[in-house]
Structure 1
């Protein structure tokens, strides 16, 4: 197995939203010395975020636009980033969409939209990144599930989201098993309620308190909580951790 290179790049999807976890995680990882490649449906936001990260942290950073649910676009985005940045070592697939629609009102368009971005998009980017990681003999893959997948909803999003996020756990476990012999680990982060716009907009103090009531820790999560988990799972110290789901949810779901 090849060791971690001194200069290493992580690609993050869904990293353009100003209040999103992906954007915060990109900044957090760059501060720790990672070069970063960003993919977002909003290419201008991804490029602007990358430029800011490069200026603040002195790392290489690039951002491109792509709908990760589109295989060709996802592959082209990774191709473009890989050409601009040092060796690709890690992926954190944050790109996702919420779905608060009640189950009996879910139509085909809503089902396809949610599964396409959350599950298909994670697959297409992961597969393309994995080809490079296998070639290098070292790598880290992190998928993003949700406590909704484990509890059957009960948060902002409902059935299509829970189903897609549950799929990510099975998908990543299988990837971990297939790619482990190539020096690659694959794990999942399952956040609980996090203070981001995917929860339906900026949260009021009252809504935060209500969401925190079910957990053991008396608050909801922050983007920093998830970014710190991602930093561990893509780092050199997590090489014997694979096929696992790390809940970052304040004790909302214990298993």
Structure 2
């Protein structure tokens, strides 16, 4: 039996790939399926199978999703071949269509011993708040576990808003991170996996003693809190 954990959000810019990367680090060796318009998780090398979504938003709307659904055939085949715990990072403007496609295939996958968990990432932005309950509703009939990560990137999500969408959902949160100037460049260049490999001496040489200490501290804190946010997902995935 293989467990598949999907991380999804229709709205872009919510930090979804940060948590996919954190989960990939927490579950060492787990294969990753990346469904997006661009390949971001390059630092994970051969662990990642990237499926480019070529259908643009206009094409999806004109065809009622047909332009995008056909591109998921290869993704479904990759999921069918999964034999160990696997992470699926579902890109923006793709999550709703993919979950609808997966809803149709879920009974077949269940008969083959594949279980799905779905994690939705939400911020307090109106677009993300509107999409989160829709995605959870789509996944509820067939997902064995539902998760929600509240990314406090722009502040907390109001408790009443969270309560409305989290019945039967395991919730974790990720605090807003204030990074020293220069720290974000390391995240963009290599994701979370490079943080533990940073050379303090080279950081000092490039940034100076004070800034290098703050950069290293902020990146370590970012990595730790991202890992804590995905801990419930990791425990289910390897359970």
* Conserved 8 A contact 1:119-1:165: no
CA–CA distance in structure 1, aligned partners of residues 237 and 98 of structure 2: 20
The 3 A distance-change label for structure 1 pair 131 and 87 is farther
Of 114, 136, 139 in structure 2, the residue corresponding to residue 169 of structure 1 is 136
Instruction: Tell me how far 1:135 sits from its aligned partner.
Output: 3.3
Instruction: Tell me how far 1:161 sits from its aligned partner.
Output: 3.0
TM-score normalised according to structure 1 size: 0.48
**CA deviation profile, 1:171-221 (whole Å, cap 9, x unmatched):** 222224xxxxxxxx1313242315xxxx6xxxxxxxxxxx36989x99437
Work out whether 1:27 is the aligned partner of 2:30: no
**CA deviation profile, 1:119-148 (whole Å, cap 9, x unmatched):** 3333335654x35631322413213153x5
TM-score normalised according to structure 2 size: 0.50
Look up the match of 1:87.
83
Q: Secondary structure at the match of 2:152?
A: coil
Instruction: Tell me how far 1:30 sits from its aligned partner.
Output: 4.4
Look up the match of 2:148.
189
CA–CA distance in structure 1, aligned partners of residues 157 and 117 of structure 2: 32
* Conserved 8 A contact 2:32-2:88: no
Work out whether 1:227 is the aligned partner of 2:230: yes
* Conserved 8 A contact 2:121-2:148: yes
CA RMSD in angstroms, aligned pairs only: 4.0
Look up the match of 1:63.
50
Look up the match of 2:163.
none
Greater gyration radius: 2
Structure with the greater relative contact order (CA < 8 A, sep ≥ 6): 1 or 2?
2
CA–CA distance in structure 1, aligned partners of residues 8 and 129 of structure 2: 19
CA–CA distance in structure 1, aligned partners of residues 6 and 108 of structure 2: 12
* Conserved 8 A contact 1:119-1:168: yes
Look up the match of 2:75.
77
Number of residues paired by the alignment? 163
* Conserved 8 A contact 1:9-1:36: no
Q: Secondary structure at the match of 2:230?
A: helix
The 3 A distance-change label for structure 1 pair 218 and 78 is closer
* Conserved 8 A contact 1:23-1:49: no
**CA deviation profile, 1:15-43 (whole Å, cap 9, x unmatched):** xx9x7324413532441x4233222221x
